[in-house]
Structure 1
Amino acid sequence: MLISVPEMMSKAATGIGSLPDIGEERALSLIQESFPLCPHWPQFPTKAEEYFDLQVLYLLKGLEIIKKEEGKNPRFLDQGVDFLDRAALFYELYLSNVDSQKLDERLAMPESSAVGFYYFINQLEKKGVGRAICLKGQAAAPLTVGMQVLDAEGASSFFNEQLRDIVVKALELHVIWQVRELKKLGLPVIIFLDEGMMQAYGNKQFLSLRGDWIIDSFRSIIDAIKREGAAAGIHACCIADWSVLLASEPDIINLDAYNYFTSLLTVRDELNEFLKKGGYIAWGIVPVNDILYQETADSLLKRLNEILKKLINRGVEESLLYKQMIITPCCGTGLYLRENAERAYSLTAEISGRMK
């Protein structure tokens, strides 16, 4: 079942999450100026403390189930003599929290690895939510995490059923905590799962990667988000098999429409079913690299409308496409210059306003 996305989100704008390290105050100001209806908390990926494992796998690090050495991918300690005992402790913690009214304090994201999140919460508590109708959070998605976190022998943990299950359950606990923190501000919450590794599925280098693993992993985390009463989105800024991602039943899909729109052309029936159930498409139509300086709101609106016409010509329901849309940049801006972020956010806001 899809969670209802606030109706006022139709044609509204929001961001993917990451920004260059411009400071929390300037970042929040930019977000609220650009996306007053659906502000997101700012991530600063260029900060060493905000590497993805510190933001979503801190629980596993604390239990010494994984470790991270400087300059290397995080690794499971699955060949350690006490690994099974530590895994058992994790599962006990999972079972005691996944449906609990009060969460263990160890589920809280460390403030040092998410300064933007805590600044966002604190400022909105002090000054109010303004015009916002919902709040957006984000977390690394299961395939991305599972492909980057390795086992003790150096293979991606996503291919190991036991390790994959631990990753997914750790992400479940994280999104439950994040939703509850954001909901304290009194507005509906949307959580995007940021998936940058979907191009691996179907790639000859990863022929053993199975679609049902991806679907089940996403569905577990999406179900956790929905049980908390929040809407779940999937952001994929790469070539993606959307039939697989749609099968995990998100409420919103967010694609890099500027570069990878054609990945939607083969899923007409799945898109129609998704839209008829109330699903939203978040169109990442604004580039974030330097090509954005060659674009204007007019050129990007033209590009978006041409995309929509191609889908309509394929048989996707026109009225639902135009009604159930959100406008975003094509990806996060965290690895680009401040000027890129500011221009991308400005163009996204302008396109949203003109579509409305």
Structure 2
Amino acid sequence: MLPGKALTTAMGILPHTNLQEAQKLALSLDIPFWPQLPRFRFKEDMYAQFAEHFPGIKVDEEKQSLHFSHERFAEELDEYLEASVIPDHFALSEESSAAFSGFLEQDLSAYKMVHGQTVGPISFGLKICDEERKPMIYNDFVREILYDFLGHKISWQYHQLKKVHPNPFVWLDEPGLEMIFNSLSAYTSEVAQVEYRAFLSKLPGPKGIHLCGNPDWAFLLNADIDILSVDAFSWGHIFVRYIDEVKEFLRRGKIISWGIIPTLTSELNSETAESLTARLHELWKFLNQHGLDDDLIFDRAWLAPSRCCLINGDGTISIDQAFALLKTISCNIQNI
């Protein structure tokens, strides 16, 4: 069973441009991660980072954009299919991740777990558009390759982490999951749920999903995942109302990572460790009132920032402040 009890972790994306400072911050948590640094260079943007070697995608560093071409996809598909049997074809290159290889060289033996991350297939497929500005996920065959491609990327990353730590996992960054279940999406909820479950079933190690929106929580809580990272600061009041699903999720030994610390400067400046702890306890109190005891909630809980944030005007100051609050709140809750 995965360790709980208010261990601290966070999403991989950081606003740093200094690699050593980013790595130090990531290693300061109970469950560390290798940092993604899109402000360091565009290829570290989570979409660009995992687009490397996907057939049909062009990464334009100068314009900081990604485009999908059906013509280029057809030209590159056979080469991709031949290379897909070679695990290292799906490696994170030094050009797309400044931090990954350095993370693997750290002494990680003192940590209970470590994690990597990748953009999720739904977010990836919705973000990158073709010549007609249609998300590439709407093409059935392209979507099949997309799921296959990211499955290989995750597997390669997981096995690299496994070489240096006995308990790694790779979680999916999936902001697009909020969109896929609404009426505006041409990729229907019914099809998405079937395909997503099939995709998850093939992934190695503990399976985790992070998103900072308000998706179909019932689907995620019933999906084959072990870790669900929730923006509890913004959406916790809605999330806890899925009481039956939350109960069953926790009773199966799964982990909820409660993203209770805001990372946006304007929100962060109006909060304290005491106010955020009280906010979290209010969410847990609601679960108490509906039959979940504190011991189980705490035993299956991690704590995290609510989301990654690249829009603050103060560089890394707010993120550093959020991580400091995170560790304080975790310590307070563990000592109650």
**Is the shorter-chain TM-score for this pair beyond 0.5, marking a shared fold?**
yes
Structure 2 gap segments, 5+ residues each: none
**Could you list the per-position Cα deviations for residues 19-64 of structure 1 after superposition, in whole angstroms to 9, with x for gaps in the alignment?**
112412111222223x0x311111112221212233212121xxx4
2:174 aligns with 195
Letter in 2 for 1:210: T
2:272 aligns with 296
1:279 aligns with 254
Deviation (angstroms), 1:204: 4.0
Contact in 2 for aligned 1:242/1:263 (Cα 8 Å): no
Contact in 1 for aligned 2:240/2:283 (Cα 8 Å): no
Q: Secondary structure at the match of 2:269?
A: helix
Distance in 1 separating the partners of 2:198 and 2:49: 19
Question: 2:154 matched to 1:161?
Answer: no
1:307 aligns with 283
Deviation (angstroms), 1:315: 4.0
Contact in 2 for aligned 1:143/1:197 (Cα 8 Å): yes
Question: 2:38 matched to 1:45?
Answer: yes
One of 11, 19, 32 as aligned partner of 2:14? 19
Distance in 1 separating the partners of 2:219 and 2:270: 34
One of 129, 136, 158 as aligned partner of 1:150? 129
Distance in 2 separating the partners of 1:218 and 1:263: 23
Distance in 2 separating the partners of 1:297 and 1:161: 47
One of 222, 229, 243 as aligned partner of 1:247? 222
Contact in 1 for aligned 2:233/2:262 (Cα 8 Å): yes
- TM-score normalised by structure 1 residue count: 0.85
Structure 1 gap segments, 5+ residues each: 98-102
Which structure is richer in relative contact order (CA contacts within 8 A, separation 6 or more)? 1
2:208 aligns with 233
Deviation (angstroms), 1:225: 3.0
**Could you list the per-position Cα deviations for residues 66-116 of structure 1 after superposition, in whole angstroms to 9, with x for gaps in the alignment?**
223353753332135xx446324433443x25xxxxx2x321111111102
Give runs of aligned pairs for residues 1-356 of structure 1, distance below 5 A.
4-5=1-2, 7=3, 9-33=4-28, 35=29, 37-46=30-39, 47-60=41-54, 64-69=55-60, 70-71=62-63, 73-80=65-72, 83-84=73-74, 86-94=76-84, 96-97=85-86, 103=87, 105-122=88-105, 124=106, 128-129=107-108, 131-206=110-185, 208-226=186-204, 230-290=205-265, 291-316=267-292, 318-336=294-312, 337-356=315-334
Contact in 2 for aligned 1:43/1:334 (Cα 8 Å): no
Q: Secondary structure at the match of 2:53?
A: helix
Distance in 2 separating the partners of 1:130 and 1:188: 10
Distance in 2 separating the partners of 1:143 and 1:224: 16
User: Compared with structure 1, are the counterparts of its residues 289 and 260 closer, same or farther at alpha carbon in structure 2 (3 Å cutoff)?
Assistant: same
Q: Secondary structure at the match of 2:220?
A: helix
Q: Secondary structure at the match of 1:205?
A: coil
Contact in 1 for aligned 2:109/2:165 (Cα 8 Å): no
Deviates more, 1:324-333 or 1:110-119: 110-119
Deviation (angstroms), 1:320: 2.2
Letter in 2 for 1:233: G
Q: Secondary structure at the match of 1:43?
A: coil
The answer to which structure has the higher helix fraction is 1
Q: How many residues align?
A: 329
User: Compared with structure 1, are the counterparts of its residues 93 and 320 closer, same or farther at alpha carbon in structure 2 (3 Å cutoff)?
Assistant: farther
- TM-score normalised by structure 2 residue count: 0.90
Deviation (angstroms), 1:162: 1.2
Kindly report the root-mean-square deviation, in angstroms, between the aligned alpha carbons of the 2 structures: 2.1
Distance in 2 separating the partners of 1:153 and 1:29: 43
Q: Secondary structure at the match of 1:74?
A: strand
Distance in 1 separating the partners of 2:325 and 2:92: 32
Q: Secondary structure at the match of 2:9?
A: coil
Q: Secondary structure at the match of 1:235?
A: strand
User: Compared with structure 1, are the counterparts of its residues 78 and 259 closer, same or farther at alpha carbon in structure 2 (3 Å cutoff)?
Assistant: same
